[in-house]
Amino acid sequence: MKKRTFLLFIVFALGVFSLSGCSSKDAKEETFTIAEQFGIAYAPLNIMKELGILEKKLPGVSIEWKQFGGPTAIREGMLNGEIDFGFMGISPVLVGIDNGMDWKYATGISSNQVAIVTDRPELNSLADFTPEDKIAILSPGCTQHVLLCMLAKKELSDAHCLDNQTVSMSHPDAANALISDTEIAAHVATPPYIQEELSHGMHIIADGEDIMGEPFTFISGVAMTKFHETHRDWYDAFIETLEESIAYINNNKKETAALLAPVYGISEEELLEQMNYNGTIYSTKLSGIEKMSQAMAETGFIKRAPAFEDIIFDNVNQ
């Protein structure tokens, strides 16, 4: 009798363990994780969060937002299956594809000014930099780094001659370092950090659009092919929600500024000014990818420039 009771207990315990394991897996599958970075380039995502639009389209799905200081952590999270949708500059996506990562561009989100800003009056071109002058970028291979190398190739005949002087920093940290007069001599910056730095009497050495020779998407959204295939309903709902969020911003700039000013910790007036800043465009359109990939191949960031149609999902607005 005791033996039979013991066996029944074991069977029951195993059943509970099995059920709890399934519950944990199901819960994980019902969490949609989205990763972003810092700055007003990500304003459509903040609108999405503040208005809770995605939750309305995906009832029963837990929406989790993560924020990182650069693309490297996002790439690692997507590789590990911890992030479903990531937002970053267009060049880290190309680096990932070149290294065999099975992700594609899903959408654009914004275009905005990228500029090399310095607090040193004597620095007016890359030729003026000394070996002691450090340059803040997000991370090796990021869009800012590629633009810096493109300019170095043009002005100094060596795309990577300043690589040893670059320092990986988030935009907020880089801006603080530049304003605090540290060893950081320049910051490859974006809004609102460009305006903040210029307000402290700094100046722009070069502008990203001038370096590229044409306008380009600055921030793009990416997803793994597996996620696109297994969670197409989530994917489609997210793209639809992003389009709605961008339309809301473009049609309601003042309301957007009022809603997001507390998120960015600035006044409504200042945020509205930044959203209307030269070159700031919110759109799902992807542009400049082919030129960027060609430049990256020429400067050694990637082995070859991929065909554009091979690295985008079918919904992409070109």
201, part of any domain: yes
Token couple for 152: 């170095």
Give the confidence band of 10 by pLDDT, cuts at 50, 70, 90: very low
Of 212, 237, 270, the position where a domain reaches its end is 212
269, part of any domain: yes
Q: What is the pLDDT of residues 124-163, one digit of tens each?
A: 999 999 999 999 998 898 899 999 999 999 999 999 999 9
Q: Examine the pLDDT at 21 and tell me if it is beyond 90.
A: no
Of 190, 212, 234, the position where a domain reaches its end is 212
- Distance, CA of 247 to CA of 136 (rounded, Å): 33
Structure pTM? Answer: 0.81
Shared domain for 123 and 180, answered yes or no, is yes
From 36-40, 42-46, 129-133, 244-248, the region with the lowest mean pLDDT: 36-40
Shared domain for 124 and 249, answered yes or no, is no
16, part of any domain: no
- Distance, CA of 228 to CA of 237 (rounded, Å): 12
Q: Examine the pLDDT at 14 and tell me if it is beyond 90.
A: no
Shared domain for 149 and 282, answered yes or no, is no
9, part of any domain: no
Unique residue bearing structure tokens 């049609």: 251
- pLDDT for 18: 42
Shared domain for 98 and 226, answered yes or no, is yes
Q: What is the pLDDT of residues 54-72, one digit of tens each?
A: 999 999 999 999 999 888 9
Of 160, 183, 212, the position where a domain reaches its end is 212
21, part of any domain: no
The mean pLDDT of the chain is 90
Token couple for 296: 């990256």
**What's the average model confidence in pLDDT over 198-216?**
93
Cα pseudo-dihedral 293, 45, 222, 304, rounded to 10: 10
- pLDDT for 124: 98
Cβ contact 116:178 at 8 Å: no
Cβ contact 282:110 at 8 Å: yes
Shared domain for 103 and 226, answered yes or no, is yes
Shared domain for 182 and 227, answered yes or no, is no
6, part of any domain: no
Q: Give the CA radius of gyration of the chain.
A: 23
Shared domain for 97 and 230, answered yes or no, is yes
**What's the average model confidence in pLDDT over 285-293?**
94
User: Phi, psi at residue 285, to the nearest 5°?
Assistant: -65, 140
Shared domain for 101 and 174, answered yes or no, is no
23, part of any domain: no
CATH number at residue 200: 3.40.190.10
Q: In what order do the strands lie in the sheet with 62-67?
A: 62-67, 31-36, 85-89, 219-224, 103-111, 281-282
Shared domain for 100 and 130, answered yes or no, is no
Domains of the chain: total: 2
Q: Examine the pLDDT at 42 and tell me if it is beyond 90.
A: yes
Q: Examine the pLDDT at 240 and tell me if it is beyond 60.
A: yes
Domain span including residue 280: 32-112+218-310
* SS (HEC) of the chain: CHHHHHHHHHHHHHHHHHHHHHHHHHHHHCEEEEEECCCHHHHHHHHHHHHCHHHHHCCCCEEEEEECCCHHHHHHHHHCCCCCEEEEEHHHHHHHHHCCCCEEEEEEEEECCCEEEECCCCCCCHHHCCCCCEEEECCCCCHHHHHHHHHHHHHHCCCCCCHHHEEECCHHHHHHHHHCCCCEEEEEECCCHHHHHHCCCCEEEEEHHHHHCCCCCCEEEEEEHHHHHHCHHHHHHHHHHHHHHHHHHHHCHHHHHHHHHHHHCCCHHHHHHHHCCCCCEECCECCCHHHHHHHHHHCCCCCCCCCHHHCECCCCEC
Shared domain for 272 and 140, answered yes or no, is no
Shared domain for 190 and 306, answered yes or no, is no
Query: Measuring CA to CA, which residue among 20, 39, 43, 14 is closest to residue 256?
Result: 43
40, part of any domain: yes
- pLDDT for 69: 86
Q: Examine the pLDDT at 204 and tell me if it is beyond 70.
A: yes
- pLDDT for 274: 87
- Distance, CA of 216 to CA of 140 (rounded, Å): 20
- pLDDT for 190: 87
Shared domain for 107 and 131, answered yes or no, is no
Q: Examine the pLDDT at 90 and tell me if it is beyond 60.
A: yes
